[in-house]
Structure 1
Amino acid sequence: MQRFSKFLLLPCSYPIKIVPILVGGLSSENEAMYGKLLAKYMDDPRNFFSVSSDFCHWGFRFNYMHYDKIHGPVHKSIEALDRMGMDIIQTGDPDSFKCYLDQFGNTICGRHPISVFLHMLRTCSTNISIGFVRYEQSSQCKTTKDSSVSYASAVAKVDGGKMRHVAS
């Protein structure tokens, strides 16, 4: 997000308005309500949305240590868990994303803004697709004594069109 934000501050020939929206802890009902309220802005091609979130916060200090040995080392299990969430986000289905979070408890700190965004996509009339472009971990956990934070970047674009919305 910070890398992209610097481009918003470059001089340009037209005024740019930035409207920050802070999304805290919301119920599923409120995520849907805000998504519905904001959807009309998604349909306006003059608008751009940036949704920011880390992904899995794994380790004792984060009180989250989901580990599925089928994936091998701890860091591969974390990646598999994150990629499962990323695949669901790419479907644009907020209900499936909620089920994933309920089932695995993944500590995605921006789960509420992501859910609002998914509800916006569900409600707006513009056909928008999401694709993840990068995934990283702060460290590769090898044992349960290690900790890590995951980062994923995605681009959402109007189907058949140019990039318009970014999630990271």
Structure 2
Amino acid sequence: MARGREAILVTGTVLVVLYAQLMYLVTQVLTPLSTTPGKTLAEIAAAADAAGEPVFTPLAVALPLGGVALAVAVLVTALRSRAFRSEWVALAYLTLVACGLPVYFALAFGVGMSLADLGGVLPVTGGDSDVWLVLANASFAAFFLALGVSAGLVVRRAGRGTRTLVGPRPAR
């Protein structure tokens, strides 16, 4: 296997795993702590359970793990199939990271609404952790890099097609 392909596989998988871990950390640790300053996660969880608010749900684990599972699927497919070229592997990983932001927003919205509903039980400031901006910046960068890789693939494919063109036909 080529060194560049290995680097793409390792880097892409690691980036998706780190993105998923940070998504979990922001939604399940940093946001609750910054929304309810002075309270511990155990106190927030107890108040949420008492109020029937789903702050800490299995979905917060399942969604990031879904991204990791997709990254592993790309890794296994790329290792098994040489037809899955390096450019397509890179595009797959970039797409996973770019699509992480909408998943984060869907997850964070539910957590934020549940935390807001705890206002009668806990002192809620409405503050949020700014660490989510790391996720946003990573997703935007991956989106634009994916556009660049896609454009390169289109140009390369168009360039291959020009070699088969025949000159103008003579008039009859």
Bucket of the pairwise TM-score, normalised by the shorter protein: under 0.3
**Highest Rg: 1 or 2?**
2
TM-score (norm 2): 0.26
Q: With the length of structure 1 as denominator, give the TM-score of the two structures.
A: 0.26
- Looking at secondary structure, tell me which structure has more strand per residue: 1
